[in-house]
Structure 1
Amino acid sequence: MENAELIDRYLDLILEENKTTNLTRIDSKEKARILHIEDSLVALPEVNRAPEGLYGDLGTGGGFPGFPIAVETGRKAILVDSVKKKTAIVERCVDKLGMSDRISTFSGRIEDLAREMPGKFSVLTARALSQLPSLLELASPLLKKGGLFVCYKGEASPEEEEAAKKVAKKVGMTLVSKRSLILSDGETHREIFLYEKTGKPTVKLPRRVGMAQHKPLID
């Protein structure tokens, strides 16, 4: 099966599951193709710059951008979400498509995954999951040196970007690039931030679950 067909079939399975479990607010296939598949794949150029190795999608929800990125890159992947109901559905859909040898799920908090698999990932993604400072702290302990973190944002405020600069220094991350684009619907604005793990954090990571969001390392 071609990659595009495989991704499209996965989307069908997720939309079917969505009728009984809330995975996405989008129920039209046409819209979902843009807001899930196209949106997932806009960051392929950034992901492809990462060294070889394991890929992780943080806060994967219904498996986006994780599943499309894993298929297109051919990387082994772990799709991470704290909601067990969601990861169970993603796992079921992956299994139906015969991809479970390459794509697996982790149901739990990102901090717990970092304790289990410190420095094991070559590239991570997070789409519309949290503020940049929190995301950088969560991603850092998972990445090996030289690994990349790709953040999909709607539009980050100048204050969020400034806070992210401060946290990046503390957690051993460096901003490599940022680009903006509009999806083919002509209205959805997307910003792609690319960070590299360049050094060791100056604080012990991961901190306790929830600290990255509730007490970011800004001061």
Structure 2
Amino acid sequence: MTEQEAQDWLRANFDVSRETWERLEQFLALLAEEMQHQNLISKSSADHVWDRHVVDSAQLLLHAPKDGSDKIWMDLGTGAGFPGIITAILGDYKVQMVESRARRIAFLESVVTKLGLTEKALVFGDRLENVESHPVDVISARAFAPLQKLLSLSHRFSTENTVWLLPKGKNAVRELKGLSPKRQKMFHVEQSLTDPEAGILVGIG
């Protein structure tokens, strides 16, 4: 997927107003500026940011409940803002971003303020273990921890209706097979739109 194809895909699959598009572009400008001070995304992917990061994040919304109003989306290890910031810009969820690294916390908080997302996005600047338990509707994690550890750390935020959206790259099937049979039944694998060899674990419960 080229950068132009990635932008075309976003416009075709989401109701992208001029204000929303300007927010996306402003976020990427802030990201590029901050990359001069800390390594937020790999330099090899910086020239393909719409494909490798924006669309890669936005596609998760296709597997989430359609009406996100008043629903909570928790993103674990948000890092540079993928998928947390993208979800807050494109979706109508209340997004909670968990990030423990101080410089990335500062970046995310700055982005939330500068993009006017304070009503939709909140940064938990701490380790997940220190975040108080509360039920959420969606849990995402793009590069947080191996699957077994991820589930062990975050299950206390889930209910029987919580949707899990876990991009796992080429290791999706292998990591899924490492779970107990009961937990395996929670998930199925969806192919990533941005990488034909990558999978997204989608689960409920």
Which TM-score bucket, shorter chain as reference? 0.7 to 0.9
Structure 1: 5+ residue stretches without partners: 198-219
* Corresponding residue number in structure 2 for 1:149: 164
CA–CA distance in structure 2, aligned partners of residues 110 and 132 of structure 1: 15
Q: Which residue of 85, 101, 110 maps to 2:119?
A: 101
- Aligned residue pairs, count: 187
Q: Which residue of 104, 113, 135 maps to 1:120?
A: 135
Equivalent residues in 2 for 1:137-176, closer than 5 Å: 137-156=152-171, 158-166=173-181, 168=183, 174-176=185-187
Q: How far 1:48 moved relative to its partner?
A: 2.8
Q: Which residue of 39, 55, 69 maps to 1:38?
A: 55
**TM-score between both structures, scaled by the size of structure 2:** 0.81
Q: Describe the shift of the 1:82–1:142 C-alpha distance in structure 2 as closer, same or farther (beyond 3 A).
A: same
Q: How far 1:154 moved relative to its partner?
A: 0.9
CA–CA distance in structure 2, aligned partners of residues 74 and 119 of structure 1: 19
1:74 paired with 2:85, answer no
Conservation of the 8 A alpha-carbon contact between 2:56 and 2:192: no
Q: Deviations over 1:167-187 (max 9, x none)?
A: 737xxxx5243111341xxx5
Superposition misfits of 4+ residues, deviation over 6 angstroms: none
Structure 2: 5+ residue stretches without partners: 1-17
Q: Describe the shift of the 1:195–1:157 C-alpha distance in structure 2 as closer, same or farther (beyond 3 A).
A: closer
* Corresponding residue number in structure 1 for 2:202: 194
* Corresponding residue number in structure 2 for 1:136: 151
- Percent identity, aligned pairs only? 26
Q: Describe the shift of the 1:103–1:80 C-alpha distance in structure 2 as closer, same or farther (beyond 3 A).
A: same
Secondary structure of 1:12's match? helix
Q: Deviations over 1:38-76 (max 9, x none)?
A: 110121111235875111110100110111112222111
CA–CA distance in structure 1, aligned partners of residues 111 and 34 of structure 2: 9
Conservation of the 8 A alpha-carbon contact between 1:36 and 1:64: yes
Conservation of the 8 A alpha-carbon contact between 2:77 and 2:99: yes
Per mean C-alpha deviation after superposition, the further-off stretch among 150-159 and 42-51 is 42-51
Q: Describe the shift of the 1:19–1:28 C-alpha distance in structure 2 as closer, same or farther (beyond 3 A).
A: farther
Secondary structure of 1:2's match? helix
Secondary structure of 1:140's match? helix
**TM-score between both structures, scaled by the size of structure 1:** 0.76
Q: How far 1:101 moved relative to its partner?
A: 2.2
Conservation of the 8 A alpha-carbon contact between 1:136 and 1:168: no
